């Protein structure tokens, strides 16, 4: 099956200054994320390819959905995910950050997959002031105090505790 992210760039390579637009809806399964945090049925991709004398630049966006849980209270979260692209593709790699053009085609799928996976929030919060859950009983502290006795401080940290207040702020 042909992927809409496999782009023929023969004309772009022949004539610098040429532009080509790629707008596609790609099934999430085709991107093979192997990551349950990326959700939705499709990924919307809108890219512009511009030819240069030494390669092709790719600018644009990819949009999908994401799902996760708050890192403090474990409440399920989801939202939109957007990734911006500004990449260089070259037949002979002169730039260490460039992607390689294979033959007369470029496969944008790995670039889109990598960009979206890097854009997924690593430690999302339901809200900035989320108090989290009690480490002892598991109660959501946003609903109120749990009544557990706080754990006694670890004696190994006492030397650092003794230094508290002796150092200047911000130093």
The last residue of one of the domains, among 90, 119, 148, is: 119
Give the domain extent around 137.
131-171
Residue 143 per-residue DSSP state: G
- Indicate whether 68 belongs to any domain: yes
- Indicate whether 107 belongs to any domain: yes
- Indicate whether 124 belongs to any domain: no
Which band of pLDDT confidence, cut at 50, 70 and 90, is reported for residue 1?
A: very low
| Least confident interval from 13-27, 53-67, 154-168 | 154-168
The last residue of one of the domains, among 95, 119, 143, is: 119
In a shared domain, residues 135 and 106: no
| Least confident interval from 1-5, 67-71, 72-76 | 1-5
In a shared domain, residues 17 and 93: yes
Residue 130 pLDDT > 70, yes or no?
yes
pLDDT of residue 20: 95
Number of domains in the chain: 2
Per-residue HEC secondary structure of 137-150 comes to CCCEHHHCCCCCCC
Q: Which of 55, 56, 50 is nearest to 21 (CA)?
A: 50
Strand 19-27, strand 55-69: pairing: unpaired
CB count in 10 Å sphere of residue 138: 10
Q: Quick one: tokens of 157?
A: 């940290």
- Indicate whether 126 belongs to any domain: no
- Indicate whether 1 belongs to any domain: no
Q: Kind and range of the H or E element at 49?
A: strand 38-52
pLDDT of residue 131: 92
In a shared domain, residues 155 and 90: no
């Amino acid at each position: 099956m042909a992927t809409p992210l496999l782009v023929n760039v023969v004309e772009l390579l022949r004539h610098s200054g040429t532009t080509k637009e790629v707008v596609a809806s790609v099934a999430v399964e085709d991107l093979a994320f192997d990551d349950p945090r990326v959700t939705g049925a499709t990924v919307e991709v809108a890219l512009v390819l511009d030819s240069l004398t030494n390669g092709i630049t790719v600018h644009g966006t990819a949009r999908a959905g994401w799902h996760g849980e708050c890192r403090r209270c474990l409440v399920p979260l989801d939202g939109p995910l957007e990734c911006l692209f500004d990449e260089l593709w070259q037949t002979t790699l002169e730039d260490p950050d460039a992607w390689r053009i294979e033959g007369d085609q470029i496969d944008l799928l790995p670039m889109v997959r990598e960009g979206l996976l890097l854009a997924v929030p690593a430690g999302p919060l339901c809200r900035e002031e989320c108090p989290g859950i009690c480490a002892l009983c598991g109660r959501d502290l946003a609903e109120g105090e749990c009544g557990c006795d706080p754990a006694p401080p670890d004696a190994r940290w006492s030397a650092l505790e003794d230094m508290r207040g002796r150092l200047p702020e911000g130093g």
